Amino acid sequence: MFAGMNTGATPSLAPHHMAMIPPERLAEIQKEYFAELAHIATNPEAIEVKDRRFAGKAWHSSWSKVIAATYLLNSKHLMSLAKAVDTDEKTRQKILFTTEQMIDALSPSNFIATNPEVLENIISTQGQSIQKGITNLLGDMKKGKVSQTDESAFEVGKNIATTEGHVVFRNELFELIQYTPLTETVFERPYLMVPPCINKYYILDLQPDNSVVRHMVAQGHTVFLVSWKNPDASMAEVSWDDYVGKGVIKAIDVVKEIGNAKQINILGFCVGGTLTTSALAVLAARDEHPAASLTLFTTLLDFTNTGILDVFIDEGMVELRENTIGGKNGKCGMMSGLDLGNTFSFLRPNDLVWNYVVENYLKGNSPPPFDLLYWNGDSTNLPGNMYCWYLRHTYLQNDLVKPGKLKICGEKIDLGKIKCPAYLYASHEDHIVPWQSAYESTHILKGKNRFVLGASGHIAGVINPPAKNKRYYFENNKIAATADEWLEGAKQIPGSWWPNYTKWLEQFAGEKKPASNTFGNAQYKKMEAAPGVYVKEKAAKAA
């Protein structure tokens, strides 16, 4: 996620941003509020509550419906007040975010006394649900996070991240995995996948029926994948340049050598896509063009609009991070993966926090096994140096899209020098990478670009195998001036977008040749079996 970007902090509201609600708008909001409150008070039997938090039968009694309806009315009123504040857009977004956090936290479903389902549970279990809930709470307090899945149900390399292959290269930043062919013939041009360095690579290799890795291998591609090391304190000074040069560029070189290919096909996912594009820009500055095609999944290059994450990031926040972990005071630290994960969860608090508070602690239930949420909780730290550079030069200053502004690996970069064809995928409901922002990459990269828009969110939209026959996607082969114009001319197609992608990729994959079970080459020897060593490392406590 960084398959997203988190800060581990709440948005700040500085005193000089104090603002007021125009009196006439305040009067309108108050009038609407008291009219709706009177309706609840005088006609409780007619109340209709449409919110899944209050969908259970226990909420159908008149008293419970009044509690839920009054809460929802108060929530609506508070959001109306927040939206009416006369201030700049950045401050308004912070006010809205903070208000939503407070509203979600104060839901009557989150408290024993006002949640009838919890009260019924206590009675029916003779108090055992509360005892179990306390046990769950104490366990989560030790872990420092709310459990979202049964973590004992999964083991990396056993029933998750199981696509067969071998590590063929390792340095201090990553392992390179080469996967075993599943077809008698393979395309001659290798395929390199660069996942995000937030969380672990196996979001692309969950289980056989939803593995992107296995799907691409089954399509006849010789797949290589970067498995990033989970940083510890010794890596605090590792930089963005290191991730680009010693990471992505090194991976490209190794894959080219093993595959005996002048060019390869490359995929980058989220921040892995930002790193990959940075690497190709560095190489383009050296007049090297190793990519026959570039694929970006839910990736930001233009950070003008970063959606909900924008509420966290301003000059004060970035300076704070630079002074504490970014090396500005002479010492680098680590950005805690646990803090990142918790902050990320609060971007969708009802789904990823309060839902589990109610189920795990108030009702005493244990969360069911879910591979995606297991991956989501398998956190990784970030080197403070790299993290702070990323915050400042992308989210805060948007330097990446300014030709010649940034020097990476000793080269002034210009993303416009990347001329290979690109497949750009975004998810319609992505709260980490707004799809309209991902669309801007069609104007930044100068090759023949294709943009495809899938349904659902940042991760679920990507992990959508054809066999499930779920969701839909939008396709429009013409690149329009704006994202909205593109969508207006797009066709909605049912099912997974994966076949659309693999068909596009085939034209850059080269001829077919007999598959080989040889891993690596004379220089890069076969090492451990996949999933390798780095992916099994747990996040060390950040200093």
59 part of a folded domain: yes
User: Are 315 and 388 contained in the same domain?
Assistant: yes
pLDDT tens column, 354-367? 999 999 999 999 99
Q: What is the CATH number of the domain that holds 449?
A: 3.40.50.1820
269 part of a folded domain: yes
User: Are 117 and 258 contained in the same domain?
Assistant: no
8 part of a folded domain: no
Return the axis-axis angle of helices 23-42 and 62-84, rounded to nearest 10°.
170
**Residue that is last in its domain, among 121, 153, 188:** 121
User: Are 292 and 226 contained in the same domain?
Assistant: yes
Q: Could you tell me if 385 and 254 are in contact, meaning their C-beta atoms sit under 8 angstroms apart?
A: no
User: Could you tell me the residue range of the domain that residue 50 belongs to?
Assistant: 23-121
pLDDT tens column, 449-497? 999 999 999 999 999 999 989 999 999 999 999 999 999 999 999 999 9
HSE-up (13 A, CA, CB side) for residue 85: 20
**Residue that is last in its domain, among 92, 121, 150:** 121
User: Are 115 and 198 contained in the same domain?
Assistant: no
User: Are 524 and 444 contained in the same domain?
Assistant: yes
What does the radius of gyration of the chain's CA atoms come to, in whole angstroms? 25
371 part of a folded domain: no
User: Are 48 and 179 contained in the same domain?
Assistant: no
Is residue 127 predicted with pLDDT exceeding 70? yes
pLDDT tens column, 195-212? 999 889 999 999 999 999
User: Are 97 and 171 contained in the same domain?
Assistant: no
User: Are 114 and 173 contained in the same domain?
Assistant: no
Q: What is the pTM of this model?
A: 0.92
228 part of a folded domain: yes
Q: Could you tell me the two tokens for 273?
A: 């896509």
pLDDT tens column, 371-401? 999 999 999 999 999 999 999 999 999 999 9
Q: Could you tell me if 496 and 469 are in contact, meaning their C-beta atoms sit under 8 angstroms apart?
A: yes
**Residue that is last in its domain, among 121, 151, 175:** 121
Q: What is the DSSP string of 8-40?
A: SSPPP--GGG--B--HHHHHHHHHHHHHHHHHH
Count of domains in the chain? 2
Q: Which of 197, 270, 388, 409 is catalytic?
A: 270
Q: Percentage of the chain surpassing pLDDT 90?
A: 86
12 part of a folded domain: no
- Residue 330 — pLDDT band, cuts 50, 70, 90? confident
Angle subtended at Cα 339 by Cα 338 and Cα 342, rounded to the nearest 5 degrees: 85
Q: Could you tell me the two tokens for 54?
A: 């209050």
Range in 18-22, 242-246, 308-312 the model is least confident about: 18-22
133 part of a folded domain: no
Instruction: Please list, in sequence order, all residues whose beta carbon lies within 8 angstroms of the beta carbon of residue 239, skipping any fewer than 6 positions away.
Output: 383, 385, 386, 389
409 included as an active-site residue: no
